[in-house]
């Protein structure tokens, strides 16, 4: 599926040149009309440079608005045209793959976790601006992040998204419990609250939340997907199986089957509608409850007043949670690498970066040390957790680094599938882990080559 130019295997189908010749014929016949008409539609090429940026739709729309404003401001100052495109977050992998395949698309793209490693050879080296931005911002909190396969910096870390528990404090108080501190507490309180019609809501499905939360749980039990070398699959362990067993009992006692069909929105809706007692989610769940003025059923009381955030629970091996790491990179095929780099410097300059952070209303969490204790987090008592949750969160691929293989396993939702199988009894926890190990080994084999 690589382009015909770099697809070494195409000889098999006939020589590369004959295939090209054949296709050229096609293009001539079928494209004739298209060509004539396209000239009227396609934007004029050459004259003016256009800087195109693609991000996944921010969960707090004001953040996108601020970013767009900065891009336009930059465009005006530099005398270049700019274009700001957004795509739904679960569509991003497909869009990036499409641009890589066609070697055409945007200049600056927002990337996730292992994308820098996955698309290593398609991204521009940004070591120079990485250093500069880091120096201006008091240093990076994590220097492992955004590296390509050759060890150079391929993307600039942007922000991370953490998963605290968002919990209905009133419901917990009603049954005379304290807020949960460990996963066992979650199970105990969740079981009691489910009996009262307020289940726990953790997705076991093809969604980002599910992928992150389950990784956090696995680590809290002492399990890991991969060794610290980022190459050896280490999922098949007693700890991982114990974790799956716990997921199964949590599913059975404290959750409803709907979590199998949920996407990233359903848990927020479940909390805001007054049904769910607790979910693990970034602050966007709370933010949308505030924005939609959702009420507690049968009362006039806004539900956001009784929602609070607490640290992710502790497991047998301590308190660990995964965090999504967003970053930005520049495609190698871009014709505007110089301007793109300039814009990244502009956006990451302390004043602008701070505005973007502010606009995200606590959703974006900084990866630059200077912003770690931003006044924003003191502005609302419900954000108190934010400056400290970083102590417990890890990036994809931990204890290794975010790699192409880790990202591919994330993109394929292999862990949520295993957890769902174990939870519903479709497979025993041992079988589910064994199968996951097999699938992971196949993918690591490809990328370890």
Partner 1 sequence: MNSSVSMTTGGGAAVAENKVPLWRRRKAMANYIALLPYLAFALFPFYIIFITSLKSKQEINNLGKSPFWTRGIEWENFTFLWTDTVFFEHWMINTFIVTTVSTIISVSIGILAAYALARLRFKGVEAFGVAVFITYLVPQTLLFLPLVDVINFIDDFIPIRDTYWSLILTYPTFLIPFVTWLLMGYFRTIPFEVEECAYLDGCTRLGALFRVVLPMAIPGIICAILFSYTLSWNEFLYSLVFIQDEHAKTVSVGVFTELIRGDIYFWGSLMAACMLGTVPIVILYGFLMDYYTSGLTQGAIK
Partner 2 sequence: MATASEVEGGVRNTSPGVRSFLRRNLGPDTDGYLFVLPSIVMVLCLIVYPFGLAVYFSMSDAFIGEPMEFIGLENFVYIFEEDDIFLLVIRNTILFAVISVVCKVVLGLLCALLLQRITHLKRFLRGAMLLPFVAPTALTTLGWWLILDPTYSHINWILQNTFPFTLFEIRDYQFLGEPTLALGSVIFVNIWRGLPFFIITILAGLMSIPDHLYEAADIDGASTWQKFWKITLPLLKPVLAIIILFSTIFTLADFNIVYVLTRGGPMNETHLFATYSFTLGILNHEVGLGAAISLFLFPMMVLFVIFLLRMVRRDSAYEL
Least spacing, CB of residue 319 vs partner 2, in Å = 29
Answer with the entry of partner 1, partner 2, none that 261 interacts with (C-beta below 5 to 8 A by kind): partner 2
Quote the CA–CA distance of 144 and 151 in Å, as a whole number. Answer: 9
Site for partner 2, residues 234 to 273, rule: CB under 8 A: 256-262, 266, 269-270, 273
Nearest to partner 1 of 65, 373 (CB atom):
65
The rounded radius of gyration (Å) of the Cα atoms in the chain is: 24
Supply the angle between the helices 183-195 and 238-254 in degrees, to the nearest 10.
20
Least spacing, CB of residue 418 vs partner 1, in Å = 23
Which residue has tokens 């070697």?
103
Least spacing, CB of residue 435 vs partner 2, in Å = 8
Quote the CA–CA distance of 91 and 411 in Å, as a whole number. Answer: 11
Least spacing, CB of residue 122 vs partner 2, in Å = 7
Least spacing, CB of residue 255 vs partner 2, in Å = 11
Supply the angle between the helices 337-348 and 350-359 in degrees, to the nearest 10.
70
Strand partners, 315: 318
Site for partner 2, residues 4 to 33, rule: CB under 8 A: 6-9, 12-13, 22-23, 25-26, 29-30
417, 436, 437, 440: which one contacts partner 2 (CB under 8 A)?
Answer: 417
Q: Does 208 bind partner 2 (CB under 8 A)?
A: no
Cβ neighbours of residue 109 closer than 8 Å, sequence gap 6 or more: 53, 54, 55, 96, 99, 328, 329, 330, 331
Strands (E), 42-145: 50-56, 81-87, 108-112
Quote the CA–CA distance of 243 and 301 in Å, as a whole number. Answer: 38
Strand partners, 87: 56
Q: Does 122 bind partner 2 (CB under 8 A)?
A: yes
Nearest to partner 1 of 83, 252 (CB atom):
83
- Total residues interacting with partner 2, rule: CB under 8 A: 48
Q: DSSP state, 315?
A: B
Nearest to partner 1 of 205, 230 (CB atom):
205
Strands 50-56 and 108-112: parallel
Answer with the entry of partner 2, partner 1, none that 223 interacts with (C-beta below 5 to 8 A by kind): none
C-beta of residue 422 within 8 angstroms of C-beta of residue 429: yes
Answer with the entry of partner 1, partner 2, none that 146 interacts with (C-beta below 5 to 8 A by kind): none
Q: Does 428 bind partner 2 (CB under 8 A)?
A: no
C-beta of residue 199 within 8 angstroms of C-beta of residue 257: no
Quote the CA–CA distance of 429 and 299 in Å, as a whole number. Answer: 42
From 421, 414, 412, select the one nearest 245 (Cα to Cα): 421
Residues that bind partner 1 (CB under 8 A): 1, 3-4, 20, 23-24, 26-27, 30-31, 33-35, 37-38, 41-42, 57-59, 61, 85-89, 91, 94-95, 98-99, 101-102, 104-105, 209, 264-265, 268-269, 272-275, 281-282, 284-285, 288, 292-295, 297-298
Q: What residue ranges bind partner 2 (CB under 8 A)?
A: 1-2, 6-9, 12-13, 22-23, 25-26, 29-30, 93-94, 97, 100-101, 118-119, 122, 205-206, 256-262, 266, 269-270, 273, 275, 408, 411-412, 417, 420-421, 424, 426, 435, 438, 442, 446
């Amino acid at each position: 599926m690589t382009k015909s130019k770099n697809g070494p295997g195409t000889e098999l189908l006939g020589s590369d040149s004959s295939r090209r010749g054949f296709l050229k014929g096609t293009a001539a016949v079928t494209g004739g009309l298209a060509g004539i008409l396209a000239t009227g539609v396609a934007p004029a090429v050459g004259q003016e440079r256009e800087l195109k940026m693609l991000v996944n739709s921010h969960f707090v729309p004001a953040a996108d608005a601020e970013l767009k404003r900065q891009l336009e401001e930059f465009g005006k100052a530099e005398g270049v045209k700019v274009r700001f495109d957004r795509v739904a977050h679960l569509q991003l992998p497909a869009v990036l793959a499409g641009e890589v395949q066609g070697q055409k698309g945007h200049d600056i793209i927002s990337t996730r976790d292992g994308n820098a490693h996955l698309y290593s050879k398609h991204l521009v080296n940004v070591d120079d601006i990485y250093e500069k931005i880091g120096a201006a911002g008091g240093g990076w909190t994590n220097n492992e992040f955004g590296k390509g396969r050759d060890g150079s910096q391929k993307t600039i870390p942007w922000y991370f998204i953490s998963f605290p528990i968002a919990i209905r404090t009133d419901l917990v108080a009603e049954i005379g419990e304290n807020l949960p501190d460990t996963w066992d507490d979650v199970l105990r309180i969740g079981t009691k609250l489910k009996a009262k019609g307020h289940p726990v809501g953790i997705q076991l499905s093809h969604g980002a939340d599910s992928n992150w939360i389950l990784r956090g749980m696995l680590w809290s039990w002492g399990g890991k997907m991969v060794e610290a070398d980022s190459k050896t699959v280490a999922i098949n362990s007693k700890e991982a199986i114990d974790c799956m067993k716990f997921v199964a009992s949590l599913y059975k006692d404290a959750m409803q089957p709907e979590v199998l069909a949920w996407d990233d929105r359903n848990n927020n809706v479940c909390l805001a509608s007054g049904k769910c007692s607790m979910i693990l989610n970034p602050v966007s769940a709370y933010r949308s409850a505030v924005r939609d003025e959702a009420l507690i059923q049968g009362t006039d009381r806004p539900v956001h007043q009784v929602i609070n955030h607490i640290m992710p629970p502790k497991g047998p091996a301590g308190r660990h949670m995964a965090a999504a790491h967003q970053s930005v990179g520049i495609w190698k095929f871009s014709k505007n690498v110089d301007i793109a780099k300039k814009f990244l410097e502009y956006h990451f300059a302390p004043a602008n970066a701070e505005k973007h952070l502010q606009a995200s209303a606590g959703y974006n969490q900084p990866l630059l040390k200077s912003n770690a204790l931003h006044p924003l987090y003191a502005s609302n008592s419900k954000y108190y957790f934010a400056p400290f949750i970083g102590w417990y969160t890890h990036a994809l691929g931990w204890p290794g680094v975010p790699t192409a293989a880790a990202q591919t396993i994330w993109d394929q939702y292999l862990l949520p599938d295993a957890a769902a199988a174990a939870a519903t009894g479709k497979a025993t926890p041992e079988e589910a882990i064994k199968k996951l190990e097999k699938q992971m080994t196949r993918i690591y084999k490809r990328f370890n080559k």
